[in-house]
Homo-oligomer: A and B are copies of this chain.
Amino acid sequence: MLVVMRAHATEEQVRAVCQKIESLGYRAHPMPGAERTAIGVTGNRDEVEPAVFEEMPGVQELIRVTKPYKLVSRDIKEENTVISFPGSDATIGGKALAVMAGPCAIESREQAFAIAERVQRAGAQFFRGGAYKPRTSPYSFQGLEEEGLRIMAEVRDKFGLKIVTEAIDHESLELVEQYADIVQIGARNMQNFSLLKRAGRGKKPVLLKRGMSATLDEFLMAAEYVMSEGNYKVILCERGVRTFADHTRNTLDLSIVPAVQRLSHLPIVVDPSHGTGKRNKVTPLSRAAVAVGADGLIIEVHNEPDKALSDGMQSLYPDQFDELMSQVRQIAPVVGRTVVGVAAPMPTL
């Protein structure tokens, strides 16, 4: 922490702050500047509670310095975390771009199979689909629950796709862990610390979506919650943040990808479907996400978007997903990535 003194703070005031710092068991480092003095505070195992300084005479401002994350940090682990899946070539965080695709919500076995068949053929290795849907309105469709999970387990068996699906509380997490390969924690639950800890006590990799107004620090600290319980397989996911901008449902913040990669060893994927909320923007932003260096994409695809029970407005038609894959396949090598599956013919934009 740094205590910044006012320009006209007296030497006595500076001295008093230093004494207070030392009396609390920290070390004070006064730095007299051209205009004002700043005092560094070190030696703190826990966070310093700055309340004590704030109102002392001559104090202008307090600035926090230390970032409290540990396990998520590259300080702890230099090399990238690569998550792999038993009995599968699929990885997340390695050289191959991880592609997750599927409907917002599982609606029926037929729907799930029809979509899985198409996304698998296009090159996805992961099937996403909601069985427990956190909806803004209690009157909206809330998902097929365990029936949805069962359908996704069949999808895995039939198409060899790994399953990603959201858990919304301890109870659903229990079931999701049984059926799925990756447990998703949604944006609205990014700071549901009880759920994060529970996921941290499980063994399945966790896909953690960034909260709608989460800073980078909060996002990493949420991952730290999972890891602090012993589960180190965390995949971060940027899905757009809330801003004043109204031309998209959320504002996709692609700059967080290199920012995460600088500070953390964890993989980060991008969700342009929720990140834009508009079908016609999903493909351009998917290209951008791959170009910026993301470890993967998670994309909503629906065979009949206009009949979708949720989020149809942002779901791609299977043909559009084919084209998306064809485009990202061309961009991936520029950032040193590979894309599995057969290259489709050159698209016309």
Contacts and interface: CB of A to CB of B under 8 A. Distances in A.
A147 B132 CA distance: 34
Contact of A253 (B2, B66, B195, B245): B245
Interface in A283-325: 284-285, 287-293, 305-309, 312-315
Interface stretch (A10-18, A176-184, A209-217): A209-217
A73 B313 contact: no
B292 A51 contact: no
A345 interface: no
A99 interface: no
Interface in A210-235: 211-213, 215-218, 221, 224-225, 228
B262 A244 contact: no
B34 A42 contact: yes
A313 B54 contact: yes
A34 B85 CA distance: 38
A288 B254 contact: yes
Given A245-B216, A247-B216, A284 B293 contact: yes
A65 interface: yes
Count the copies: 4
A45 to B, nearest CB: 6
Contacts of A315: 51
A175 interface: no
Contacts of A342: none
A276 B255 contact: yes
Contact of A33 (B43, B211, B331): B43
A253 B255 contact: no
A84 interface: no
A63 B66 contact: no
A345 to B, nearest CB: 13
Contacts of A75: 6-8
A253 B250 CA distance: 10
A255 B262 contact: no
Given A33-B43, A73-B7, A218 B291 contact: no
Contacts of A192: 168-169, 188-189, 192, 195
Given A43-B33, A244-B213, A245-B215, A193 B138 contact: yes
Contacts of A69: 137
B168 A169 contact: no
B241 A245 contact: yes
A269 B44 CA distance: 37
B253 A251 contact: yes
Interface string A261-290: 010000000000001101111001101111
Among A51, A63, A243, A251: residue with most chain B CB under 10 A: A51
Nearest to A35: B66
Contacts of A335: 287, 349
